[in-house]
Amino acid sequence: MARKPKGRRIDGVFLLDKPGGISSNAALQRVKRIYGAAKAGHTGALDPLATGMLPICLGEATKFSQFLLDSDKRYRTTATLGIRTDSSDADGEVIERKPVPPLQREQIEALLQQHFSGEIEQVPSIYSALKHNGQPLYKLARKGVEVEVKPRRVRIYEIRLLALREQELELEVFCSKGTYIRSIVEDLGLLLGCGAHVSQLRRLDTGPYRESMMMTLEQLQALAEPRDGDDQECIQARLDQVLLPPWTAIATLPALELSAEQAKRLQCGQGCSARFDLRGEVRLFVAGTEHFIGVGEVSEAGLLRPKRLMSTAPAE
């Protein structure tokens, strides 16, 4: 018999404004402990240096985390000019220093549009979390193991120069999954002839989630503090109110309503013989209710099949 997981059953997404200086996993564990959740996972790690959007999926919401991993992201970054590091960010060792030449906004904006707009090819940093033979590249790099990192194609939807100062510049980047901001800054520094590294990085948006929706660990912890007349149930209810429903992780998918009978068939692993107008992946709800079933896929023939479904067991 499978061992029952410790913690309570709670399903939802918490949008954490990750602080700098800690790993994404450490931040995840703190959120999980505050909620007393049995199951939790994050949706795309941020380096310890980075801050900002880190969606934490609790319970059944973890079933849809891959959709957030695959989603587009928006970042704001500060690049320090004249210094290159081995990791292309401020946590690395300095490998080169050069004077910063006089720079003009027009010059930098032209380089951004020429080299970092649309579909581009970039080589991820050797200090990234990408894996080689099952080992993260950053662990191999710290051991001095040399690995050839193959370039990958990513898409930059928008890149803007927000500020240009004497020794640094500030960028905002809206990009596809798999884009490494450190690589953009490293390559831009080389084009400018002085080198550069990321000194600050903040993720603003992930998929359907926006910067204004985030909460800090301190704000979450404050909700968990007992107040006059509070019992544990009151505290849990207060915490649960700031969770987003699991379906928000796939809010970009079209919604499809099913009858109670169709929903039951789907939850038993069967398809629906009725033909639907939508095609591809869809969010599934029971008609006339807010009951979210999961993700299905409608074939070209209009037939619906289950793909990733919520558990039928009600949450406590």
Whether pLDDT at 314 is above 60: no
The three-state secondary structure class of 310 is coil
pTM of the model: 0.88
User: Looking at the 3D structure of the chain, how many domains does it have?
Assistant: 3
Least confident of 55-69, 154-168, 301-315: 301-315
Residues sharing a CB contact under 8 Å with residue 291, sequence separation 6 or more, in sequence order: 263, 285
Q: Any idea which residues carry the catalytic annotation?
A: 47
Least confident of 62-66, 131-135, 168-172, 256-260: 131-135
- Tell me if 53 is assigned to some domain: yes
- Tell me if 17 is assigned to some domain: yes
- Tell me if 6 is assigned to some domain: no
60 and 85 part of one domain: no
117 and 154 part of one domain: yes
62 and 101 part of one domain: no
259 and 233 part of one domain: no
pLDDT average, residue stretch 210-230: 92
Find the domain containing 284 and state its range: 253-309
109 and 37 part of one domain: no
Whole-angstrom distance, CA of residue 203 vs CA of residue 112: 19
* pLDDT value for 313: 44
- Tell me if 7 is assigned to some domain: no
52 and 132 part of one domain: no
Residues sharing a CB contact under 8 Å with residue 114, sequence separation 6 or more, in sequence order: none
Q: What CATH number has the domain bearing residue 289?
A: 2.30.130.10
- Tell me if 120 is assigned to some domain: yes
278 and 234 part of one domain: no
Give me the helices (H) in 102-231, please.
Answer: 105-115, 137-142, 181-192, 217-224
84 and 201 part of one domain: yes
The encoded tokens of residue 8 equal 């309570």
Q: What is the mean pLDDT of the chain?
A: 88
Nearest CA to 185 out of 119, 129, 118, 111 is that of 111
The three-state secondary structure class of 14 is strand
Q: Which helix (H) or strand (E) holds 206?
A: strand 196-206
57 and 87 part of one domain: no
24 and 116 part of one domain: no
Backbone phi and psi for residue 39, each to the nearest 5 degrees, phi listed first = -145, 140
* pLDDT value for 2: 53
* pLDDT value for 145: 56
Q: What CATH number has the domain bearing residue 118?
A: 3.30.2350.10
Residues sharing a CB contact under 8 Å with residue 290, sequence separation 6 or more, in sequence order: none
Whole-angstrom distance, CA of residue 128 vs CA of residue 139: 9
CB 188 within 8 A of CB 180: no
29 and 66 part of one domain: yes
- Tell me if 5 is assigned to some domain: no
pLDDT band at residue 301 under the 50/70/90 scheme: confident
- Tell me if 277 is assigned to some domain: yes
